[in-house]
């Protein structure tokens, strides 16, 4: 089968790496990919939002199966666009239509969806420029801290946790005043929930589903969860505090109502749903939905999946997930993300990466890299995700951290505390 993966990050390298392990994978393409995907697949120099060129590449390379990695093309309707191409009727696509992707593309949509279907989430209200005064008054009457979320995609920067009323009101004015462009036309103001977060991944064919291994992401740049948010500095799977009884609650109170809600709303959803959860007093609440896999969570989730990934993807598009058994390794996977100097603010690109060949006991997933003149160069904020699997959390952490220490480039940064908080729970 000929397969195309859209995207250019560590998530897409992990997908490509896993797919090459399948006997069903005949030819593999990644658009646009990175230096890591080029080692296991053929990169195509096409942007993820260039739908016409993607359709043409699908024709040219007789692609049978398409996996859409990032959210932007999903929210912009790539699946709908390709479905309208009369000569691509047989193409199998993993990823929701624009309507389904609204779970991620509009916070207001996802809050209304959860309210409609009785899914536990923080209390909230949505405001627009026309209701700014009501929003400012709402902030005065609600407890601090309070969470403000730009409705649309804002590259991970659209959420502010305001500690003071002044900050909350300024944030509301700024967001509704165009700070995030159209993404801030609506702002969701939400109750702050105090708890511990984890990410759960559901693969659905529109009827049945598989719950993939859960993961914990480390979002802040600094150790001890300090400093600004990033795309993700590391991840661990499994998450020890997500025990069987908690995961059962998540399945009953969140996963099943979400999938039933999509069906009741007439949305055929075939793809991944990433549920950002917070555990408060042993009860799960949804912080957000994403319409795709997480990055760097994919780099710890996929290595633990033992079922053929191509088979899983095909079953998703054929509505036959119930016919497959999901097999998961009991090992712990830890990934440490090595990022460029300056990240998550302005950062340097084009630094030579060395000592990749010295890495042992890890899989090095490339995130922002570029192969040029025999060198591998940094080409993004997040550069590499170094994943280790081991029988214990401690060993997986040690191997992943050793690799992060070994690899070199000017300005390299990484967090040295990935997974350490979980050792406490494991004892």
CB of 146 to ligand AMP, least distance (A): 9
Per-residue contact track with ligand GLY, 242 to 281, x per CB under 6 A? Answer: ----------------------------------------
Stretch that binds ligand GLY, among 144-152, 251-259, 262-270, 290-298 (CB under 6 A): 290-298
Single out the residue of 47, 120, 276, 411 in contact with ligand AMP (rule: CB under 6 A): 276
Stretch that binds ligand GLY, among 202-210, 288-296, 330-338, 381-389 (CB under 6 A): 288-296
128-138 b/e (C-beta count within 10 Å ≥ 16 → b) = eeebbeebeeb
Q: Closer to ligand AMP at the Cβ: 217 or 351? A: 217
| Interactions with ligand AMP, residue window 185-224 (CB under 6 A) | 190-193, 197, 219
CB of 72 to ligand GLY, least distance (A): 12
Single out the residue of 101, 122, 203, 273 in contact with ligand AMP (rule: CB under 6 A): 122
β-sheet bridge partners, residue 279: 196, 284
Start-to-end CA span in the chain (Å): 45
Please name which of 361, 360, 345 lies closest in space to residue 413, comparing C-alpha atoms: 345
CB of 217 to ligand AMP, least distance (A): 8
Q: How many of the other CB atoms lie within 10 Å of CB of 199?
A: 26
* 297 lines the binding site for ligand GLY (CB under 6 A): yes
* 361 lines the binding site for ligand AMP (CB under 6 A): no
**Residues near 276 by beta carbon (within 8 Å), at least 6 away in sequence:** 197, 199, 286, 287, 288, 289, 290
User: Cα(386)–Cα(401) distance, rounded to whole angstroms?
Assistant: 8
Phi, psi (rounded to 5 degrees) for 272: -95, 140
The stretches of 141-190 forming alpha helices (DSSP H) are 165-174
* 294 lines the binding site for ligand GLY (CB under 6 A): yes
114 touches, from ligand GLY, ligand AMP, none (C-beta below 5 to 8 Å by class) = none
β-sheet bridge partners, residue 276: 199, 288
Q: Closer to ligand AMP at the Cβ: 24 or 193? A: 193
CA dihedral sign of residues 185, 191, 194, 196: negative
Single out the residue of 31, 82, 147, 150 in contact with ligand AMP (rule: CB under 6 A): 147
CB of 154 to ligand AMP, least distance (A): 8
User: Cα(340)–Cα(100) distance, rounded to whole angstroms?
Assistant: 34
Q: How far is CA 261 from the centre of its chain?
A: 22
β-sheet bridge partners, residue 159: 149
Give the largest CA-CA distance in the chain: 60
Q: Closer to ligand AMP at the Cβ: 228 or 350? A: 228
* 151 lines the binding site for ligand AMP (CB under 6 A): no
SS (H, E, C) 307-342: CCHHHHHHHHHHCCHHHCCCCECCCEEEEEEEECCC
Q: Closer to ligand AMP at the Cβ: 124 or 369? A: 124
Stretch that binds ligand AMP, among 90-98, 184-192, 319-327, 373-381 (CB under 6 A): 184-192
CB of 111 to ligand GLY, least distance (A): 18
User: Cα(137)–Cα(75) distance, rounded to whole angstroms?
Assistant: 32
The footprint of ligand AMP (CB under 6 A) covers 122, 147, 156, 159, 161, 190-193, 197, 219, 276, 287-288
């Amino acid at each position: 089968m000929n397969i195309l993966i859209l995207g250019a990050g560590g998530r897409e390298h992990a997908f490509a790496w896993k797919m090459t392990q399948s006997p069903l994978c005949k030819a593999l393409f990644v658009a646009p990919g990175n230096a890591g995907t080029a080692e296991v697949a053929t990169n195509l120099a096409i942007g993820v939002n260039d739908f016409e060129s993607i359709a043409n590449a699908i024709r040219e390379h007789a692609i049978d199966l398409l996996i859409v990695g990032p959210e932007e093309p999903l929210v912009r309707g790539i699946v709908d666009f390709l479905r309208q191409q009369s000569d691509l009727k047989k193409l199998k696509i993993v990823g929701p239509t624009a309507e389904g992707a609204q779970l991620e593309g509009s916070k207001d949509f996802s809050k209304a969806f959860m309210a409609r279907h009785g899914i536990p989430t923080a209390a909230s209200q949505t405001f627009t420029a026309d209701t700014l005064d009501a929003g400012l008054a709402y902030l005065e009457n609600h407890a601090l801290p309070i969470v403000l979320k730009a409705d649309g995609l804002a590259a991970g920067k659209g959420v502010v946790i305001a500690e003071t009323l002044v900050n909350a009101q300024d944030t509301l004015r700024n967001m509704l005043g165009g700070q995030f462009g159209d993404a801030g036309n609506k702002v969701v103001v939400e109750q702050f929930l105090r708890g511990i977060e984890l990410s759960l991944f559901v693969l659905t064919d529109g009827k049945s589903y598989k719950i993939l291994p859960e993961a914990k992401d480390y979002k802040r740049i600094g150790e001890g969860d300090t400093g600004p948010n990033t795309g993700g500095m590391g991840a661990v799977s499994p998450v020890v505090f997500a025990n069987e009884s908690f995961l059962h609650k998540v399945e009953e109170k969140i996963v099943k109502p979400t999938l039933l809600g999509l069906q009741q709303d007439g949305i055929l959803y075939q793809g991944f749903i990433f549920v950002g959860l917070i555990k408060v007093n042993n009860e799960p609440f949804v912080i957000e939905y994403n319409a795709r896999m997480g990055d760097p969570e994919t780099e710890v989730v996929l290595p633990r999946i033992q079922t053929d990934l191509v088979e899983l993807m095909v079953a998703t598009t054929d509505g036959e997930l119930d016919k497959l058994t999901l097999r998961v390794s009991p090992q712990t996977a830890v990934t440490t993300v090595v990022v460029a100097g300056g990240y998550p603010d302005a950062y340097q690109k084009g630094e030579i990466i060395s000592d990749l060949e010295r890495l042992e006991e890890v899989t090095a997933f490339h995130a922002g890299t570029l192969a040029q003149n025999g060198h591998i160069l940094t080409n993004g904020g997040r550069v590499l995700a170094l994943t280790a699997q081991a029988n214990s959390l401690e060993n997986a952490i040690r191997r992943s951290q050793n690799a992060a220490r070994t690899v070199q480039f000017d300005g390299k940064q990484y967090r040295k505390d990935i997974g350490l908080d979980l050792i406490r729970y494991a004892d």
